[in-house]
Structures are given as structure tokens and as C-alpha cells.
Amino acid sequence: MKLYEESSLSAMIARASFWKSELDATLTQKSAIIRGLFDADRLRAMKAWVYAFRQQHGLSGHMPYNEGTPDHVKLVDKPLTDRRPTRFVLSQFFPWNNDSRGNGDIGEIAMGLMTFRNLCSGLDPRAGFMDDQTFISWPSIIQYRQGGDFLAAHQDDYAFQCILILSDYGRDFQTGGNYYLGPEGHRFLEPDLQFGDVVLLKSDLVHGVHGIDPHLPLDDSAGGRWMMFCPLARRDSVLRKG
Ligand SMILES: O=C(O)CCC(=O)C(=O)O
Ligand SMILES: [Fe+2]
């Protein structure tokens, strides 16, 4: 793990070629953490907004993704026999709902992170934005609830993953959290993470999330482990007509 303390995402975006080579060198075998980019109260307000959205709308079933899909929250629960076993609550906010949803800051925060991720991955800065015909990317907020929500070890498809941490190990939950498999084997990353950190992981680094407080009952509280990221996917593989 390599820690960078930075106070401005736009300053980092302005020096994207420096950050690209710095991260290319760092991320081959370990993760990077960028600390200090966001005001904690701003992030807490965003998290509270997402939780309130879920209390108001409830959990939806699976729905096809297209440019009419509403913002929604769903339980993702895939058994150990699945290709990517996991269990968590996923809230998704799509760029085509920007005008109507009034969800304040999510789009703004996500756009900065997406731009930084794109530039450091060697992609067009607007890759995944609404006007990109090839890729689509959208803010997704995950809550791993107490009672054992988890994500099995996996690799991702795209350049690197950029995860905004929205909970505190030791306060919001006591056990579990992010790990990766480095050259020396298993590396439990979560104790090094703080609320507001941005974690960068190269997509071919094997990583996952150990079960969150599995000794506690599953509940509907706002506790547990929270993070935001923006999946980057090919439009034609995600968006379906109808
Ligand atoms: O929650 C995390 O720290 C990791 C999430 C992750 O790896 C993913 O969504 O692909
Ligand atoms: Fe991942």
C-alpha cells in the first residue's frame, strides 16, 4: 500500500500525466490510497442521502439497463457457486436521471473520480460519460451490511479501480473489509483505510472484501462498510433495448 496525501482532485487531474506514470509504477504489485481529497461532511451528507433514498424507495428487483432505467437500490446476492460470489446492497444513480433526481452531489463527486481514473488509465477523459458512444460509467454505492456481506476474490475488467471509502473500520464495523493478494500473499487493506480515502487497485490485482461482522445479525441499519465506485463497461454489453 502506498499513501498519498492530496487536497485537490482538480489539481491532480491537471497533473494527470505525472499521476499516470506514478500509478503505473505503484499499482503493479500493490494498492494506492489518496487521502484528503473530500470534505468529510460533504461525503456524510451524500451517504445519508443514499440511505434515505433507499428507505423511501425500498429494494427493487433486477431491471434491464438502458437509458430509461431509473435510479434504484437492490440486493445483490450471488451464491458461492456463482462466477463472482457476493452479497451487498447496491444503489445505482444513472447519468440520464441527472436532472430529475435531485441527488445533489453524487454526480459531481463521481465525475471528478471518473475523469481522474480515465486519464490515469490512458483513456479519453470523458470515457463513460453520457456523450461517449463506447463506454458507460455511473456512480454506484455499495453497502456491505453487518451479518456477513462480502465480495469474493476477483479481478476486474477495466484499467484500474477507483474506490471512495465511505465508512470507518473499527467504528462502523469491527471485522472484515478489503484485501488483495500481493506478491507476499494475502494483504488485509481495510485497517489502513479511513473514511474519505480513495483506493486505487489495478484491475488484474486479485482482491475482494472479507465478510463484514459475520457474528452480528443482518439488519437494515446504515452501519457496515460503505463505498462508492463507478463501474466502467462497454455500452453494448450493458445497455439493452426495452
Ligand atoms: O468494496 C471494495 O473495496 C472492493 C469492491 C470491488 O472490488 C468491486 O466492486 O469490484
Ligand atoms: Fe473489484
**How far is 57 from 229, CA to CA, in rounded Å?**
21
Per-residue model confidence (pLDDT) at position 239: 87
153 class by beta-carbon count within 10 Å (0-12 exposed, 13-18 middle, 19+ buried): middle
Relative to the alpha carbon of 199, which ligand is closest? 1
Instruction: Residue 202: give its domain's CATH number.
Output: 2.60.120.620
Percent of the chain's residues with pLDDT above 70: 96
Residue of 139, 143, 196 whose CA lies nearest to 168? 196
From residue 69, give the alpha-carbon distance in Å to each of 19, 37, 46, 58.
35, 31, 21, 16
**How far is 92 from 99, CA to CA, in rounded Å?**
15
The answer to whether residues 197 and 169 touch, using CB atoms and an 8 Å cutoff, is: no
Per-residue model confidence (pLDDT) at position 101: 54
Task: Please work out whether the CB of residue 37 comes within 6 Å of at least one atom of ligand 1.
Answer: no
Relative to the alpha carbon of 90, which ligand is closest? 1
Q: Whose CA is nearest to atom 9 of ligand 1?
A: 229
Give residue-wise pLDDT tens across range 150-164.
999 999 877 788 999
Per-residue model confidence (pLDDT) at position 204: 85
Model pTM? 0.95
Q: Which helix (H) or strand (E) holds 17?
A: helix 16-26
- Whether residue 59 is predicted with pLDDT greater than 60 in this model: the reply is yes
The answer to whether residues 163 and 201 touch, using CB atoms and an 8 Å cutoff, is: yes
The answer to whether residues 177 and 188 touch, using CB atoms and an 8 Å cutoff, is: yes
Task: Please work out whether the CB of residue 178 comes within 6 Å of at least one atom of ligand 1.
Answer: yes
- Whether residue 211 is predicted with pLDDT greater than 60 in this model: the reply is yes
Percent of the chain's residues with pLDDT above 90: 78
Ligand 1 centre to CA of 199 (Å) is 10
The number of folded domains in the chain is 1
Residue of 69, 19, 124 whose CA lies nearest to 242? 69
Pairing of strands 232-234, 135-137: antiparallel
Q: How confident is the model at residue 99 (pLDDT cuts 50, 70, 90)?
A: low
Per-residue model confidence (pLDDT) at position 183: 87
Ligand 2 centre to CA of 161 (Å) is 7
Per-residue model confidence (pLDDT) at position 102: 54
Question: Per-residue pLDDT averaged across 76-92, rounded?
Answer: 97
Domain of 155 in residue numbering reads as 2-238
Give residue-wise pLDDT tens across range 168-183.
999 999 999 999 998 8
Question: Per-residue pLDDT averaged across 25-49, rounded?
Answer: 93
**How far is 198 from 215, CA to CA, in rounded Å?**
28
